[in-house]
Structure 1
Amino acid sequence: MASQLPVKVVFVSLLEAAVSFHLFPNVFSARSFTGAFVVYSVINWSIYALYIVVIYPFFLSPLRHLPKPSGSWGPIIAHGPIMFSRPPGEAHLKMMKDCPDAGLIHFRSFFHVDRLLLASPAAIADVLVHKTYDFEKTPWIRAFLKQFLGDGLLTTEGEEHKHQRKHIMPAFSFRHIKELYPVFWSKSLELCDVVKAEMAEKMNDVLELNHFATQVTMDIIGLAGLGRDIGSLRNSEDELISTYEEILEPTSEKGIYFVMHLLFPPRFIKMLPWKLNERTRITTGSLKRICTEFVQEKKARMKTESEEQIDILSILLRSNTFSDQGMVDQLLTFLAAGHETTSSAFTWASHLLAINPSVQTRLRAEIHEAISSPKWILTDKVDLAALLESLPYLNAVCNETLRLFPTIPVSARIAVRNTTISSQHVPAGTLCFIVPWAINRNPALWGPDAGEFRPERWIDQETGRANGIGSAESNYAFLTFLHGPRSCIGERFARAELRALLAVFCGSFEMSMADPKEVVRAGGTITSKPINGMKLRLKPVDW
């Protein structure tokens, strides 16, 4: 196998040097064993480089006959630069359009290293469901994420991941999420009150929404996840919010920092005189300190609290499954993934409504018709979960937003053993790309209007009710939350939270872009966020 060859090259060079130097001293001109080894190493490494760059990829690779996209940057470079492309996933979408009938697309990275792009539901199902443990998250991505998330659910693999997921799953059950709807709704109302107060204080109807989206989703995960009101909406200088905003701000420097972790060992990057290294150390240290304090505080409070506490942290602590450090790692994961997923989705949904006023008007009409008063709905007589989940257009707008702007636009898995995808042999070590941004927008799966914001695709035209797969023919055409054992464990949580936020905000404000001519661009490293924030013009409406 190609990945074993470097060791063989060194061994063969040593053997050749020993044989020629000791058995044929008159034939070989080197005066020392070291000299012989250097000469043979140069020869063998040159042959190895030729094998890796030319012979294996073009003549021996079992993937060489698969469909290939156009647009290569030339020899050696090949399609390597797509890792720098923005928005993340757009280059992969172009590949799918170049090969519309392909289930697997073969392309080559730097030095012609094989890469696979999964483009069909069957291929995606194999990797995510049928053979999920033949593939793992890449070690370098996991090492990068561990800086911020510790050894939580998102960074573990194998038996450890199975163990963690099994014991965390009860906290995200349908029954538990249903009980959290009032938390989502009350914090959504608080968001609107804070926004109105901000507009009145500054006498300005233009607002940068992304910051408030981060605050409200952090408050929600605080209450629902920790049983603790973090109060970010009431405290604009909150340390937790400022830390996450610094980490997740989509800058070019952070994009380079992320790519560097794909190319070089973390130890090498930490040695560089790079200010971002120091900022990363400070921000990750702050997060771990805050989460440690949260866990210690919660354990102390649980001694006097009722067993009826429904927040996620209480459920996990009562399970007695995780150590204190393990709880900190899970908390780091919940805070990051739990607030960022919905924060980004809510920001993008507001943008899409702002540039599609007819959709916004129709959604507001549905909300006002179903809910006469946003505060009345919190009474015990109303099943809030059932009501919001029954609104077809609200759910259609949420689904369409999540389709067009998946929080994690590009994901990858590496084959940990020789396996197959759609009957195609895939050697161990092959990197396979699963790209929600591309799959969710692929015209071959969603039709010619795949790139358009059209919530109606999620509503059955005959019954008027929401459908589960939109206009696609397979649920694997929608990858925002992935599928299978490695799917997003918080999908129900994120969907419920987004329903509540969007219903309250659209019911309370008429939205338009502060600059109607602005072209909003998606950026970020791991997640997808608007590069320059989201500036909206808001007008309160009667409810």
Structure 2
Amino acid sequence: MHITITPASIALFSLSESAIAFYLFQHVFPSGTLSTLLLFFSLLNSSGLVIYHLIIYPFFLSPLRHFPSPKTGFWPIIGHGLIMFQRPPGAVHLKIMKETPNEGIIRFLNWWHKDRLLLTSPAALADVLVHKSYDFEKPPWVRTFLVQFLGDGLLTSEGEDHLHQRKNILPAFHFRHIKELYPVFWSKSIELCDVIKADLWDKSDKVLEFNHFSTQVTMDIIGLAGLGRDIGSLRNSEDELIKNYEEILEPTFEKGVYFLSHMLFPRWLLSALPWKLNERVKVTTNSLKKICKDFVQDKKLRMKTGSDEDLDILSIMIRSNTFSDDGLVDQLLTFLAAGHETTSSALTWAAHLLSTHPAIQTQLRNEIHAAIPTPKSLSDPKVDIAGLLESLPYLNAVCNEVLRLYPTIPVTLRMAKNDTTICGQSVPAGTNCFIVPIATNRLPDLWGPDAEEFVPERWIDKETGRTTMNGGADSNYSFVTFLHGPRSCIGAKFARAEFRALIAAFVGSFDMEMADPNEAIKAGGTLTYKPLDGMKLRLKDVEWAQ
């Protein structure tokens, strides 16, 4: 059993010991004053507690001590804590999974030798994400950090509050609603291509930084689908929303340290530091909250004077009458951030993979052109855009493979809120469990020897030629980009549909290659997985039949 003792308990216990020693055992401590005895017992008890936490409990008493641990990377006191600082995110976790024989759970010691578990098998992931999902929650420090940017929305809520929010938001992501949004996805995808062509018009080298454009188009899409309004960031390169989110999500070393500092130190202490990033976080988050507040007020006004049949996320939440105005702002903060960043990141990495795999790019373009004679042909309201794009096997295989190799959230944490079990093994309350999509999705034990390679064909059934659901893996839990269970990504189907349309339009319109074929793209990011120095592409217009 783990002993939890507060500083106040140590002080009280030390005071009791010193009083007993002073009044009853003066012959043992003939020259000791009450003050010196109190200091002596305080140091003695504190030292004993440190020894217990650093040595006795983790190495001799912890119920997790029998799990296998990494054979390298351990340092006294900091344990395997330096893993948290290694980049790119998730790479060291994959290395540990491959090098440490295990049966689904690997144990490592974090700072002060605190137990941490790394989940490696479908069975362990199923327990934490589905079978016992409400036994596990985001650690308090993670929620405290995220609330700054996302508010108290769906991603940061827990327990009954989460169930309530998800129930009232879920109708906005019904498959019929997503099908109705395909024309929006397609029109914005074509607008993206038109804006890129205009940007390249007077550039002799035909090179652009693609990540910025992918952020703009996905922000416009979530604006229409989430707010029922065209934000128009593609037409406005200085859009305030885009500038704020690009600043927040820019993958820098300083932001990585800022994030990890919240794990080690209390929020009030970090806020008091003369750290310039503290001020920038306040500025950007206050700006985002003001924008979202204006969106809510404007939407409510338009709903009073116009149609009540809008199916965007904000309209559905307002009609549910379960969210206050502040609650609506929190949800918008969540959906604007998560709704645009997921697909923006995937589109950027897709461009990189296709640029470095020209044969796959050509095969995909041939399928797109064979199915879609001209981009304008999908503007006909009689055309079933959803049915068409969802029926293209190679398009869907490419999309699945990109999402497998580059999940937007590479690493996430769950903490046991009570004593529980994983795969029948006891796990004490307070134990943090690492779920690492970018490692699980690339694990050779689950995906075979080519697990880290870009192979869209793994998603196509050789007999039927149709896209498979699991990419040849034995379990659905081998693919955890969107997680699973009650805490899975509520917008997964939305993101997949949007991604299909964007890839089809972009690959159909451009032949792409890396601006510098020898550039080694470095990945980083605090919350999301992004290229550190952007994604510079050289594009060439492709003749699409008219």
- 2:453 is paired with a residue of what secondary structure? coil
SS in structure 2 opposite 1:262?
A: helix
Structure 1 30/118 Cα, relative in aligned 2: closer, same or farther at 3 Å? farther
Aligned-partner Cα distance in 2 for 1:173–1:35: 70
Which position in structure 1 is the counterpart of 2:116? 115
What letter corresponds to residue 420 of structure 1 in structure 2? T
Partner of 1:315: 316
Structure 2 counterpart of 1:284:
285
Instruction: List aligned pairs for 1:244-259, cutoff 5 A.
Output: 244-259=245-260
Q: Is 1:100–1:444's contact at 8 Å kept on the other side of the alignment? A: no
Matches within 5 A, 1:133-532: 133-532=134-533
SS in 2 for 1:414: strand
The residue identity in structure 1 corresponding to 2:167 is K
Match of 2:4 in 1: 4
CA deviation after TM superposition for structure 1 residue 71, in Å: 1.6
Q: Aligned partners of 1:386 and 1:53: how far apart in 2?
A: 59
Residue 31 of structure 1: how far off its partner (Å): 5.4
Per-residue displacement from partner, 1:403-444 (whole Å, max 9, x unpaired)?
Answer: 000000000111111110001110111111010011000001
- Which SS does the other structure have where 1:537 is aligned? strand
CA distance in 1, matches of 2:493, 2:30: 72
Where 1:413 maps in the other structure, the secondary structure is strand
Q: Is the 8 A contact 1:291 1:331 kept in 2?
A: yes
SS in structure 2 at match of 1:432: strand
How far apart, in 2, do the equivalents of 1:428 and 1:303 lie? 49
Q: Give the TM-score of the pair, scaled to structure 1.
A: 0.98
- Separation of aligned partners in 2, 1:30 and 1:101: 57
- Secondary structure at the aligned position of 2:278 is classed as helix
Residue 21 of structure 1 contacts residue 30 of structure 1 at CA under 8 Å; is this kept in 2? no
1:186-208 alpha-carbon deviations (Å, 9 max, x no partner): 00000000000000144441010
- CA distance in 1 between partners of 2:238 and 2:35 (Å): 63
Distance 2:506 2:393 in 1: 17
Query: One-letter code of the match for 1:41?
Result: S
Provide the rounded CA distance (Å) in 2 between the counterparts of 1:357 and 1:137.
41
Q: Is the 8 A contact 2:68 2:102 kept in 1?
A: no
- Please state how far the C-alpha of 1:101 moved relative to its aligned partner: 4.3
Amino acid at match of 1:156: S
**Does 43-52 or 330-339 show the bigger shift?**
43-52
Distance across 1 between alignment mates of 2:451 and 2:101: 13
Distance of aligned partners of 1:30 and 1:40 in 2 relative to their CA distance in 1, 3 Å threshold: farther
**Aligned equivalents of 1:4 and 1:73: distance in 2?**
24
CA contact (8 A) 2:153 2:327 kept: yes
Is contact 1:217–1:342 with CA below 8 Å preserved after alignment?
yes
CA change 1:231–1:53 in 2 (3 A) is same
Task: Measure how far apart 1:374 and its partner are.
Answer: 1.0
Alignment deviations for residues 193-225 of structure 1 (CA, whole Å, 9 cap, x no partner):
000000014444101000000000000000111
How far the C-alpha of 1:100 sits from its partner, in A, is 4.5
Gaps of 5+ in 1: none
8 Å contact 1:348–1:405 — kept in the other structure? yes
Aligned-pair distance for 1:78? 2.5
Residue 88 of structure 1 aligns to a residue in which SS?
A: coil
Determine if contact 2:2/2:62 at 8 Å carries over to the other structure: no
In the alignment, the residues of structure 1 paired with residue 256 and residue 371 of structure 2 have an alpha-carbon distance, to the nearest angstrom, of 44
Q: In the TM superposition, what whole-angstrom CA distance separates every residue of 1:441-488 from its partner, at most 9, and x where no partner exists?
A: 000100111000000001111100000010210000001000000000
Q: Which residue of 2 aligns with 1:55?
A: 56
- Could you give the per-residue CA deviations for residues 315-341 of structure 1, whole angstroms, max 9, x where no partner exists? 111111100000000000000000000
RMSD: 1.3
1:26 deviates by: 4.5
Secondary structure, aligned partner of 2:245: helix
Equivalent residues, number: 543
Give TM-score scaled by structure 2 length. 0.97
Counterpart of 2:107 in structure 1 is 106
In the alignment, the residues of structure 2 paired with residue 25 and residue 305 of structure 1 have an alpha-carbon distance, to the nearest angstrom, of 87
Letter in 2 for 1:2: H
Contact in 2 for aligned 1:374/1:504 (Cα 8 Å):
yes
Asked if structure 2 preserves the Cα contact closer than 8 Å seen for 1:9 and 1:48, the reply is no
Question: Secondary structure of 2:511's match?
Answer: strand
- Contact kept, 8 Å, 1:521 with 1:530, in 2: the verdict is yes
Structure 1 Cα separation of the partners of residues 277 and 107 of structure 2: 35
> Matched residues in 2 for 1:449 and 1:178: separation?
34
Separation in 1, partners of 2:306, 2:466:
42
* Residues 1:129 and 2:130 aligned together: yes
CA contact (8 A) 2:22 2:33 kept: yes
> 1:55-82: per-residue Cα shift (whole Å, max 9, x none)?
1111111111111222223322321100
Query: Using the alignment, how far apart are the partners of 1:366 and 1:75 within structure 2?
Result: 56
Residues 209 and 536, structure 1, Cα contact 8 Å, conserved in 2: yes
The alpha-carbon distance between structure 1 residues 9 and 2, as it changes in their structure 2 partners (threshold 3 A), is farther
Structure 2 residue matching 1:9: 3-state secondary structure: helix
Deviating more after overlay: 15-24 vs 85-94: 15-24
Higher deviation after alignment, 368-377 or 283-292: 368-377
Return the alpha-carbon distance in structure 2 between the equivalents of residues 53 and 471 of structure 1.
44
CA contact 2:68–2:101 (8 Å) conserved in 1: no
Inter-partner Cα distance in structure 2 for 1:386 and 1:254: 42
Displacement of 1:41 in angstroms is 1.1
- Partner SS, residue 107 of structure 1: strand
Q: Residue 375 of structure 2 aligns to a residue in which SS?
A: coil
